[in-house]
Amino acid sequence: MRLRLIVAMAALAAAVRLAHAADWPNRPIHFIVPFPAGGSTDVAARVVGDHLSRTLGQPVVVENKSGANGNIAIEYAAKSAPDGYTILIATDAVSSNPHVYKMTFDPLTELIPVIELSHQPIALAAHPSLNVSTLAQLTAKVKQEPGLRFGTGSGAGSLQAMVGLWYAKLADIVLIQVPYRGGGPAITNLIAGHVQLGSLGSTPLIPYYKAGTLKLLAQSSAARSAALPDVPTFQEAGMPELVVDQRIGVLVPKGTSADIVARLNTGINAEPPSSTASSSAMTPTKSPAW
């Protein structure tokens, strides 16, 4: 009798999930972004959200929940109802944070990957007051004046921090990380000269680079981004080991219906690549999952 009750309850729960999936979406969808407005992840979320709202016929609301190198938003999304209405847009911090921070949950098991949106290089950006135009000039300057601070839009162990410190190790210089809550605040402080160097996602830096407000000394991809054809790679600057891209993807809470995951994937994949890549260093990938 007890076994029959358990089976019946399981069947009822499955039927309810299927009914919800068939009716999805019938209300606004919320994109959870782990960093403030103005950074690369926020830019990607707003571009994709605008497209998806037209494709699915429901508003997509972008919510910026910054802090703890993205962990606040990641945990919020992971513990949300698996109904397709709370969706995480995040960088590869989802996979790296558990190795750096003490976490009360495992994002790699509590979240389901939907699709990888794009990848972009990390760029080393300098304020004009630093009086350097090349990576070699920066290296020479810091050798004479060790301890230059560099801003990042994320915390310790993040890809932006890794690129800055990796460069410092290869160049045998001392740089000190100044972590901000997101790329937007980091860029604002870099432009204001509160820090003179930044290791940041390249896309939101492009307007300031083109305007001459900031100088871009190097980018971390294997080849020059089409959006930054005049900025050398670290490889070209004599550091063949330093090759890495920042990746941005879409994830949903564990337990989300496979049908909703598939429809999300299809809907995002229907976006014209040019709309994501225009004036951006982000290269659309549209991989099924990451």
**Residue 42's CATH number:** 3.40.190.150
230-244 mean pLDDT: 97
Same domain for 84 and 226 = no
Same domain for 71 and 14 = yes
Same domain for 276 and 241 = no
d(CA 100, CA 104): 13
Work out how many domains the chain is built from and give that number. 2
Domain of 146 in residue numbering reads as 120-245
CB of 103 within 8 A of CB of 71? yes
Is 275 a residue whose pLDDT tops 50? Answer: no
Q: In this predicted model, what pLDDT tens digit does every residue of 32-51 receive, in sequence order?
A: 999 999 888 999 999 999 99
**Least trusted range by pLDDT, from 1-15, 17-31, 147-161, 189-203:** 1-15
Q: What is the CATH number of the domain that holds 168?
A: 3.40.190.10
Same domain for 150 and 213 = yes
Q: Residue 123: its pLDDT value, please?
A: 98
Same domain for 89 and 59 = yes
Same domain for 231 and 207 = yes
Is 12 a residue whose pLDDT tops 70? Answer: no
CB of 176 within 8 A of CB of 150? yes
Peptide bond into 25 cis (omega under 30): yes
- Bigger pLDDT: 1 vs 76: 76
The packing angle between helices 258-269 and 2-23, to 10°, is 20
Same domain for 112 and 150 = no
- Bigger pLDDT: 282 vs 1: 282
User: Per the confidence metrics, is the pTM higher than 0.75?
Assistant: yes
Q: Residue 282: its pLDDT value, please?
A: 66
Same domain for 113 and 6 = yes
Same domain for 146 and 101 = no
CA 276 vs. chain centroid, Å, equals 14
Same domain for 215 and 154 = yes
- Structure tokens that stand for 73 in this block: 């938003």
Buried b (16+ CB within 10 A) or exposed e, 231-257: bbbbbebebeebebbbbbbbbbbeebb
Is 18 a residue whose pLDDT tops 60? Answer: no
Same domain for 268 and 175 = no
Same domain for 264 and 207 = no
Q: In this predicted model, what pLDDT tens digit does every residue of 160-214 receive, in sequence order?
A: 999 999 999 999 999 999 999 999 999 999 999 999 999 999 999 999 999 999 9
Q: Residue 286: its pLDDT value, please?
A: 53
